[in-house]
């Protein structure tokens, strides 16, 4: 154990089940309830439980994406919450909804939670919607889009001598090649990095390949503790979970590093043992370099075998999907100990780190 | 860059205390498959609900799932044009954008055959004569003006039937 | 269109927000309207621009207002070949993080350099305000930053 002040061994909680929709550029046929229902049915069905086995529900979404109020309330119809359930919602990626459910499970009064999230990026204009998460006085009035802000970070990384455009292309090439084995991926192909470097700049120094796709997608996880953890599935234990945030002021941050990720990694105990696989929520290719360093991962760690967010980036879901993908690597026997990461805000402002371990 | 005259001219305006940050966003929205069926029904002058295959409840409009059981509602059910006022309020307060003369009645209407009520405007009755249990019928716009929108229903009005028993709708308040 | 397919409709969401800015942000915006760039001193002595009510490193209240700029150094930049409708420029420009003279943090704004080959990290730029009559106390009072020496 590392010496983090106040850190204690958490109550063992298992990722009992994980499901996600096939990630697509645009699902303009279904509402949120209709997108979620099959995924909720699958996340229960694969371990043979029903909503009646669940003690608590927490979801992650943002109404800004569809421009309609209270979609997070109507989405509960996908689960069925009568008689009334204990329920909560975060205006965050589902990974933070999982964090809330995990904290409640730590209290020891409940043993099972459903976490779900949904993000339809297609109805609106993400470049404008994501500007609204920025400082409303100094930054949002200029309407900087997420690609431009990420490009400022990528340039800083290049100027600091920590990466080159060829590195970005190599990450994009590898991610989308790995995604060929992921039936839920949106963008999967086998294009060599040298070829990708012929892409045009969207906002320099970011070429098209270094950007995430725009994705509609939903995902769900069942968390289990106590007897249920073993009854429902072969346990994949959460051995550490932490999240940290940095100032919203971009100009006050060193964009070439991620101290909040490093702190969360320490809190979650990433370095307590060897890591086999990492699922990293790096929507822009260059961010994988920053995050690998902050997580303390060396070259032996398999990064984003699912293809990661460069293969599918459903807002509000891509972080929870990292946790689900990492858990799946363990439950299928391809890894023993994994780290999953989720991010939120511009240029990796807020970061969550989850360490998972098989038996 | 500001020249000297620029800077001097602004001197006596007082401090800036507010900042206007207007937001305008455009969306392409879909109500989904189930609600689209409801809306297409309105275009034909019909109320279309959906039945839960598990508990048998009929929802109108349906969002595609049973909010009790969390399972898809796939069976369409055409509902009657008449229903019962389960509860109501009388609006006496004017507000911006109001298009109806006050006082007017806003009621929850439980259509015959449905297990959930929805909000409707009640007209053709003085506001002080509305009551729980009153039987009402939908009045639609002219057939050539029907659209896949609730604007196709002009309002509900009393249909002359005797009031419904409280026992028959007390579960829907 | 077959009966089973979902309907679609466009809709527009508008929020006419007017925000109270408070004394610290208010001082900065008043400065912009008056054609000056202002920062604030943090608890560790650093000068924070644009100013915040608290020092982001310590959380302590910030102190005196300090005039900075009008020139500064580009810390990072990103070239936008095709500006979006709401961007602050309708012709190609660079977003840049600019550390103004006298400041310890960087301000985000547009740089009008005329081309990506005319801008580099470390370059000096200076502020170009809109005419006084058009300034209202907002970030848009700055039209853009331009390379020092007037390359654009």
**Global pTM value:** 0.94
Q: Does A70 touch chain B (CB under 8 A)?
A: no
CB contact under 8 A, C106 and A153: no
Per-residue pLDDT tens for A283-317? 999 999 999 999 999 999 999 999 999 999 999 99
The topology (CATH level 3) of A136-213+239-357 is: Peroxisomal Thiolase; Chain A, domain 1 (3.40.47)
Contact B41, C3 (CB under 8 A): no
Give the containing element (helix H, strand E) for B25. Answer: strand B18-29
Chain A residues close to B64, C-beta within 8 Å: 30-31, 33-34, 37, 77
Rounded to whole angstroms, the Cα distance separating A176 from A188 reads: 5
Ordered DSSP codes for A269-313: TGGGS---EEE---SSHHHHHHHHHHHT--TTSEE-TT-GGGT--
Residue C152 predicted with pLDDT over 80: no
Contact C143, C128 (CB under 8 A): yes
C-alpha dihedral sign at B129, B131, B137, B143: positive
Alpha carbons B18 and B21: distance in angstroms, whole number: 10
Facing B70 at nearest CB: one of A66, A67, A78:
A78
Distance from the Cα of C28 to chain A's closest Cα (Å) equals: 10
**Which chain B residue lies closest to C1 (C-alpha atoms)?**
B40
**Residue B116: what pLDDT?**
95
β-bridge partners, A225: A13
The answer to whether domain A13-125+214-232 and domain A136-213+239-357 are alike in fold is yes
Q: Do B6 and C5 touch (CB under 8 A)?
A: no
Contacts of A28 in chain C (CB under 8 A): 6, 8
**DSSP tag of A316:** T
d(CA A278, CA A203): 28
pLDDT tens for each residue of C71-101: 999 999 999 999 999 999 999 999 999 999 9
Closest CB to B30 among A31, A33, A41? A31
* Residue to test with chain B: of C2, C4, C7, C72, most B Cβ within 10 A: C7
- Contact (CB, 8 A) for B66 and B59: yes
Write out residues 132-161 of B within 8 Å (CB-CB) of A.
Answer: none
- Please list, in sequence order, all residues whose beta carbon lies within 8 angstroms of the beta carbon of residue A253, skipping any fewer than 6 positions away: A246, A247, A347, A349
- Asked, for residue C11, whether it belongs to a domain, the answer is no
Strands C124-129 and C107-111 come out as: unpaired
pLDDT digits (tens, 9 = 90+) for C34-63: 999 999 999 989 999 999 999 988 999 999
Nearest CB to A33; choose among B21, B64, B68? B64
Q: What is the pLDDT of residue B45?
A: 97
Distance from CA of C144 to the nearest CA of A (A): 11
| B102-112 pLDDT per residue, tens | 899 999 999 99
- Tally of domains in chain C: 1
CB contact under 8 A, A29 and B30: yes
Q: Do B16 and C14 touch (CB under 8 A)?
A: no
pLDDT in tens, B29-41: 899 999 999 999 9
DSSP per position, A24-65 = BS---S--HHHHHHHHHHHHHHTTT--GGG-SEEEEE--GGG
With CA atoms as reference, report the closest residue to A178 among A189, A169, A186: A189
CATH code of domain A13-125+214-232: 3.40.47.10
**Burial group, residue B3, by CB count within 10 angstroms (0-12, 13-18, 19+):** exposed
The Cα C12–Cα A35 span in angstroms is: 23
Q: What is the pLDDT along chain B (173 residues), one digit of tens a residue?
A: 444 444 444 456 899 999 999 999 999 989 999 999 999 999 999 999 999 999 999 999 999 999 999 999 989 999 999 999 999 999 999 888 888 888 999 999 999 999 999 999 999 999 999 999 999 999 999 999 999 999 999 999 999 999 999 999 999 98
CB contact under 8 A, B2 and C20: no
- The whole-number pLDDT of residue A242 equals 98
Q: DSSP state, C133? A: G
* Domains of chain B, each with CATH number or no CATH: 29-79 (no CATH), 80-173 (2.40.50)
Q: Give ipTM to 2 decimals.
A: 0.95
| C86/A203 touch (CB, cutoff 8 Å), yes or no | no
Asked if B25 reaches chain A (Cβ–Cβ under 8 Å), the answer is yes
Can you tell me the distance from the alpha carbon of C122 to that of B50, in angstroms, rounded to the nearest whole number?
A: 65
Backbone angles phi, psi at A162, to 5 degrees: -90, -15
Which of B87, B85, B41, B44 shows the shortest CA–CA distance to B60? B41
Residue C136 lies inside a defined structural domain of this protein: yes
Dihedral of CA A134/A135/A136/A142: which sign? negative
Inform me whether the pLDDT recorded for A102 exceeds 80: yes
Q: Which residue of B has its CA nearest to C144?
A: B1
The span from the CA of B62 to the CA of B55, in Å, is 14
Are B148 and C19 inside 8 Å of each other by CB?
no
CB < 8 Å to B40, chain C = 3, 7
Residue B139's pLDDT is what? 98
Closest residue, chain B, to A131 (C-alpha): B23
| Structure confidence by residue, pLDDT tens digits, A107-150 | 999 999 999 999 999 999 999 999 999 999 999 999 999 999 99
| pLDDT for the residue A3 | 43
The whole-angstrom separation of Cα A347 and Cα A151 is 9
The DSSP bridge partners found for residue A59 are: A89, A116
Point out the residue among B5, B18, B36 whose CB comes nearest to the CB of C19: B18
What H or E segment, with its residue span, contains residue B51?
strand B47-51
Angle between helices A285-295 and A259-268 in degrees, nearest 10: 50
Distances in Å between the Cα of A27 and the Cα atoms of A21, B30, B124, C15 are 11, 9, 43, 27
Calculate helix-pair angle for A285-295, A146-159, nearest 10 degrees: 60
Determine the structural domain holding residue C72 and report its residue range. 22-147
Binary contact (B67, A77; C-beta < 8 A):
yes
pLDDT at B95: 85
Q: What is the mean pLDDT of residues A213-233?
A: 97
In order of A9, A103, A230, C33, the CA distances from A223 in angstroms are: 18, 11, 11, 54
Q: How confident is the model at residue C150 (pLDDT cuts 50, 70, 90)?
A: low
Question: Would you call B34 and A31 a contact, using CB atoms and an 8 Å cutoff?
Answer: yes
Q: How far apart are CA B107 and CA B128, in angstroms?
A: 13
pLDDT one-digit tens code per residue, A235-293: 999 999 999 999 999 999 999 999 999 999 999 999 999 999 999 999 999 999 999 99
Q: Using CA coordinates, name the residue in chain B closest to A41.
A: B71
Q: How far is B85 from B62, CA to CA, in rounded Å? A: 20
d(CA A141, CA A26): 28
Say if CB A328 and CB A284 are below 8 A apart: no
Q: Which chain B residues in 44-73 lie under 8 Å from chain A, judged by CB atoms? A: 63-72
Mean pLDDT rounded to a whole number for chain A: 96
How many other CB atoms sit within 10 Å of the CB of residue A221? 26
Q: Which of A256, A253, A273, A289 is nearest to A339 (CA)?
A: A273
Check pLDDT > 70 for residue A2: no
Q: What are the residue ranges spanned by the domains of chain A?
A: 13-125+214-232, 136-213+239-357
The answer to whether residue C14 is domain-embedded is no
A:226-285 residues touching chain C, CB 8 A cutoff: 247, 249-252, 255
């Amino acid at each position: 154990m590392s010496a983090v002040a106040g850190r204690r061994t958490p109550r063992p909680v298992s990722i009992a089940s994980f499901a996600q929709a096939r990630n697509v550029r645009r699902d303009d046929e279904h509402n949120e309830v209709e997108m979620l229902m099959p995924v909720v049915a699958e996340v229960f069905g694969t371990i043979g439980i029903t909503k009646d086995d669940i003690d608590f529900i927490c979801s992650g979404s943002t109404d800004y994406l569809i421009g309609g109020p209270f979609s997070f309330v109507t989405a509960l119809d996908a689960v069925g919450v009568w008689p009334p359930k204990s329920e909560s919602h975060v205006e965050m990626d589902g990974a933070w909804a999982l964090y809330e459910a995990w904290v409640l499970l730590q209290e020891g009064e409940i043993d099972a939670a459903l976490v779900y999230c949904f993000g339809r990026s297609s109805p609106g204009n993400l470049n404008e919607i994501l500007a609204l998460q920025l400082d409303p006085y100094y930054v949002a009035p200029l309407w900087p889009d997420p690609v431009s802000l990420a490009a400022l970070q990528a340039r800083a990384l290049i100027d600091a001598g920590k990466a080159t455009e060829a590195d970005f292309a190599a990450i994009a090439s590898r991610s989308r090649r790995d995604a060929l084995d992921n039936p839920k991926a949106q963008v999967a192909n086998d294009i060599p990095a040298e070829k990708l470097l012929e892409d045009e700049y969207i906002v320099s120094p970011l070429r098209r390949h270094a950007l995430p796709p725009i994705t509609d997608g939903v995902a769900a996880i069942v968390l289990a503790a106590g007897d249920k953890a073993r009854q429902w599935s072969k346990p994949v234990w959460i051995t550490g979970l932490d999240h940290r945030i940095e100032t919203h002021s971009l100009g006050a941050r060193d964009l070439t590093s991620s101290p909040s990720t490093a702190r969360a990694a320490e809190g979650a105990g990433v370095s307590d043992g060897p890591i086999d696989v990492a699922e990293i929520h790096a929507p822009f290719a260059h961010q994988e370099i920053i995050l690998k360093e902050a997580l303390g991962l060396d070259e032996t760690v398999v990064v984003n075998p699912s293809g990661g967010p460069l293969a599918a980036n459903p807002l509000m879901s891509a972080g929870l999907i990292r946790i689900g993908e990492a858990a799946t690597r363990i439950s299928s026997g391809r890894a023993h100990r994994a780290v999953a990461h989720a991010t939120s805000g511009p240029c990796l402002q807020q970061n969550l780190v989850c360490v998972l371990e098989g038996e | 860059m500001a020249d000297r005259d620029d800077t001097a001219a602004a001197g006596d305006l007082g401090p800036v205390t507010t900042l206007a940050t207007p937001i305008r966003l455009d969306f392409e929205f879909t109500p989904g498959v189930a609600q689209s069926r409801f809306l297409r029904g309105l275009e034909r002058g019909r109320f279309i609900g959906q039945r839960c295959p598990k508990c048998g409840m009929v929802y109108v409009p349906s969002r595609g799932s049973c909010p009790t059981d969390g399972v898809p509602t796939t069976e369409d059910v055409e509902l009657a044009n008449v229903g019962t006022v389960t509860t109501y309020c009388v609006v006496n307060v004017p507000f911006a954008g109001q298009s109806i003369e006050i006082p007017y009645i806003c009621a929850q209407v439980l259509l015959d055959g449905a297990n959930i009520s929805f909000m409707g405007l009640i007209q053709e009755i003085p506001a002080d004569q509305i009551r729980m249990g009153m039987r009402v019928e939908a009045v639609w716009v002219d057939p050539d003006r029907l659209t896949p929108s609730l604007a196709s229903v002009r309002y509900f009005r009393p249909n002359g039937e005797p009031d419904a028993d409280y026992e028959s709708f007390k579960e829907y308040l | 269109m077959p009966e089973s397919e979902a309907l679609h409709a466009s809709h527009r969401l508008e929020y006419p927000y007017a925000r109270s800015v408070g004394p610290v942000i208010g001082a900065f915006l008043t400065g912009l309207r008056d054609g000056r760039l202002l920062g604030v001193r943090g608890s560790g002595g650093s000068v924070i621009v644009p100013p915040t009510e608290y020092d982001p490193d310590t959380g302590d209240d910030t102190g005196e207002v300090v005039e900075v700029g009008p020139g500064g150094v580009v810390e990072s930049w990103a070239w936008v070949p095709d500006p979006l409708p709401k961007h602050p420029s309708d012709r190609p420009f660079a977003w840049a993080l600019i550390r103004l003279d006298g400041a310890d943090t960087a301000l985000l704004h547009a740089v009008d350099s005329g081309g990506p080959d005319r801008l580099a990290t470390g370059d000096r730029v200076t502020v170009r305000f809109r005419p006084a009559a058009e300034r209202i106390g907002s970030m848009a009072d700055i039209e853009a930053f331009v390379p020092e020496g007037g390359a654009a």
